[in-house]
Amino acid sequence: MVQTFRICEQHSGRSFICEPGQSVLKAMEQQGLRCVPVGCRGGGCGLCKVRVLAGDYECGKMSRVHIPPDALAKGEVLACRIYPQSDLAIECQPQQAVGQVTK
Amino acid sequence: MKKGVMRPGHVQIRVLDMDEALKHYTDLLGLIETDRDDQGRVYLKAWTEVDKFSVVLREADEPGMDFMAFKVVDETALQQLEKDLVAFGVEVEQIPEGELKDCGRRIRFTVPSGHAFELFADKLYTGKWGVTDVNPEAWPRGLQGMKAVRFDHCLLYGPELAATYDIFVNVLGFHLAEQVLDPEGNRIAQFLTVSMKEHDIAFIHHEEKGKFHHASFFLETWEDVLRAADLITMTDTSIDIGPTRHGLTHGKTIYFFDPSGNRNEVFCGGDYTYPDHKPVTWQAEQLGKAIFYHDRQLNERFLTVLT
């Protein structure tokens, strides 16, 4: 039996299962949850930024603009590019200023 | 074309991982790799394009667009446009011949929206890929994925649309094909062209400078757009929205993301324009319908997901 990991998002209190090798964001989407905002799913746009409060994970490449090295050191990551190696507690980051179309 | 700017020439896109990006742009989009350089950049083209490349990929820590270039009719026009830009107060940088392989000298300048643009007159003419110049067949065999026909346009997000408009229309000779106006009459989107296409370049107002919304590639038919959607699913590629239709331009479209989060579009159809056409206007109150004609509302990503 494949070991799976439980991901808990603290703001919403929602949790979901993530398989090894699967990104946290993809696992969330597959289970129909929306507790982390979904953007490009490629580490580029920064919309799915979360802070990992507890647990081990591996990271894929992420835009340095959204995750500079000091942020990474504090556990700030993009949910689309983290792959859990244990159960994780994550926390959604406050929404960044959203683009305005009105002047 | 009255100032000699002819058409989009190339776009240089930053990617986080070159191997993943290349697989996306060749296997899925159907672009053809034509060269690489000692900076590690990879050069690509779509099959109907006559010059050597139209897309350049560069590996970097941050995705997005480095610059977009337009081809001008000849060196004389390039010199005149350079003078006109300088006279207008635009700072112009010289990029020597060969900095991009087989491309002539370029001039580069940054517009008030924060985006870098280039003009050039010469690039190696390699002809359409896989078909002859004389008695050509309808299309070449061996194309991959979506079989993109050409790099068509970019949509960019940034501030100061009015000042950006002035450079494109008054200096470079573009024509405003479509616009979105807010209730006070401010232009919050501008679709500019030097051709009969509804846009060769488009801008949407956004507070942060220099953001990249998408690079777009042309397909022939709606069936091709649906087939592109099938391929996006088959390859588990990140989709944004579609297949659907835009109100602006009325093009039929699908948005998706490259593996670094840069948005791509493939589309077909769309309206045409001539220089005597008045701009098509959409009201900001109808922005949802203007962007996604069927849903009539924006998805949350349209305004926020940028590189």
Chain A nearest-CA distance from B61, in A, is 6
Percentage of chain A surpassing pLDDT 90? Answer: 86
Record the tokens describing residue A4, joined without a space. 């799976």
Q: What is the value of pTM for the model shown?
A: 0.96
B223 touches chain A (CB under 8 A): no
Comparing C-alpha atoms, which of A40, A78, A101 is closest to residue B188?
A101
Using alpha carbons only, how large is chain B's radius of gyration in Å?
Answer: 18
**Superfamily of structural domain B152-304:** 2,3-Dihydroxybiphenyl 1,2-Dioxygenase, domain 1 (3.10.180.10)
Rounded Cα–Cα distance for residues A34 and A31 (Å): 9
Domains in chain B: boundaries = 5-120, 152-304
Would B5-120 and B152-304 be classified into the same CATH topology?
A: yes
Chain B nearest-CA distance from A55, in A, is 25
Rounded Cα–Cα distance for residues B191 and B176 (Å): 6
| B213 carries an active-site annotation | no
pLDDT digits (tens, 9 = 90+) for B66-95: 999 999 999 999 999 999 999 999 999 999
Please determine, for residue A98, whether its predicted confidence score (pLDDT) is greater than 60: no
Instruction: Indicate whether A23 belongs to any domain.
Output: yes
Instruction: Indicate whether A63 belongs to any domain.
Output: yes
Rounded Cα–Cα distance for residues B46 and B198 (Å): 20
Is-contact B141 B186, C-beta < 8 A? no
* Per-residue confidence (pLDDT) for residue A101, from 0 to 100: 41
* Per-residue confidence (pLDDT) for residue A99, from 0 to 100: 41
CATH at residue A60: 3.10.20.30
Rounded Cα–Cα distance for residues B31 and B11 (Å): 13
Catalytic residue among B199, B205, B206, B213: B199
* Candidate from A44, A99, A103 with C-beta closest to B307: A44
User: Which residue of A lies nearest to B181 if distances are taken between CA atoms?
Assistant: A102
Mean pLDDT (whole number) for B100-122 = 98
| B24 carries an active-site annotation | no
Instruction: Indicate whether A82 belongs to any domain.
Output: yes
Q: Which domain holds residue A87?
A: 5-92
Percentage of chain B surpassing pLDDT 70? Answer: 100
Rounded Cα–Cα distance for residues B169 and B279 (Å): 13
Instruction: Indicate whether A100 belongs to any domain.
Output: no
* Per-residue confidence (pLDDT) for residue A102, from 0 to 100: 37
Chain B stretch 92-151, residues whose beta carbon is closer than 8 A to a beta carbon of chain A = none
Instruction: Indicate whether A102 belongs to any domain.
Output: no
Please determine, for residue B113, whether its predicted confidence score (pLDDT) is greater than 70: yes
* Adjacent-strand bridge partners of B181: B187, B283
Chain A nearest-CA distance from B177, in A, is 19
Instruction: Indicate whether A97 belongs to any domain.
Output: no
Comparing C-alpha atoms, which of B236, B54, B81, B292 is closest to residue B154?
B54
Please determine, for residue B44, whether its predicted confidence score (pLDDT) is greater than 80: yes
Q: What is the dihedral of CA B177, B112, B67, B16, to 10 degrees?
A: -110
* Per-residue confidence (pLDDT) for residue B299, from 0 to 100: 87
pLDDT digits (tens, 9 = 90+) for B167-220: 999 999 999 999 999 999 999 999 999 999 999 999 999 999 999 999 999 999
Question: Looking at the domain covering B5-120, what would its CATH class be?
Answer: alpha beta
Amino acid at B201: I
Instruction: For residue A20, report the phi and psi dihedrals to the nearest 5 degrees.
Output: -60, 135
pLDDT digits (tens, 9 = 90+) for A4-54: 999 999 999 999 999 999 999 999 999 999 999 999 999 999 999 999 999
Record the tokens describing residue B143, joined without a space. 């194309």
Mean pLDDT (chain A, rounded):
91
Mean pLDDT (chain B, rounded):
97
Q: What is the ipTM of this complex?
A: 0.92
